[in-house]
Amino acid sequence: MVALARFDTQGQWEETWVCDGLVRQHLAPTGVQFGRWPLRPLQLQAGDGLAAVQAAYGEELAALGSHFPLHGADRLALAPGDAHWPALRRQFLAEHRQGGAEVRFFLSGTGLFYLRSADGFLGLLCEAGEWVALPEGLAHAFDAGDAPHVEALRLFVQPQGWVAEPTGAVLPALPLYDDFVAQLLEQVGEELEE
């Protein structure tokens, strides 16, 4: 289940949406797109990630349009206890921009993006089968919690892959992934599928 929450500039949770139409409507001013693709078997080989993704998802990628001239792909997989996660988490939580647009497709698990908006922040929680496309230059952060469980295809416009430029902004106390999910469950009163 996708969920979108709006926070003010102080990090105060203001409103939550869990239906696709409202999520898209409230993402639109940021230029962020959201959708779903079927989960298909996918074997990414080192060096030809994008070719494998294009073979499996050619139609879906074409529908994204010309704003996303993709040049590379990788698969990010994080599991609880992953030794790389603490350092990666610090990098992802520091608000940053990428030199190009980015597309992320969740293959399993869940992850939380924080997107800077005109009047605060949007927290977007995605799960398997959901994709999100961020426009070039949108300041954002990402979290997957203390015990991450997420696998995502990362499609890059930049040939060099994941290159982030930190904004240097000190973010307000936005809830990290675990608190976000706990508060969301209190609000919507139903289990998120993992």
Ligand X SMILES: CSCCC(=O)/C(O)=C/O
- Residue 180 as a binder of ligand X (CB under 6 A): the answer is no
- Residue 116 as a binder of ligand X (CB under 6 A): the answer is no
Helix ranges restricted to H, the chain: 20-27, 49-64, 85-93, 177-188
Q: How far is the CB of 151 from ligand X (least distance, A)?
A: 8
Q: Can you tell me which of 140, 155, 156, 181 binds ligand X, judged by CB under 6 A?
A: 140
Q: Which is nearer to ligand X, 111 or 123 (CB)?
A: 111
Query: What are the residues facing 142 on neighbouring strands?
Result: 113
- Residue 143 as a binder of ligand X (CB under 6 A): the answer is no
Contact 132, 113 (CB under 8 A): yes
Q: Count other C-beta atoms under 10 Å from residue 52's C-beta.
A: 16
Residues 16-75 that bind ligand X (CB under 6 A): none
What are the distances in angstroms from CA 153 to CA 20, 44, 47, 65, 129? Answer: 21, 10, 14, 18, 11
Contact 76, 108 (CB under 8 A): no
Q: How far is the CB of 12 from ligand X (least distance, A)?
A: 23
Count of residues that interact with ligand X, criterion CB under 6 A:
11
- Residue 100 as a binder of ligand X (CB under 6 A): the answer is no
Q: How far is the CB of 189 from ligand X (least distance, A)?
A: 26
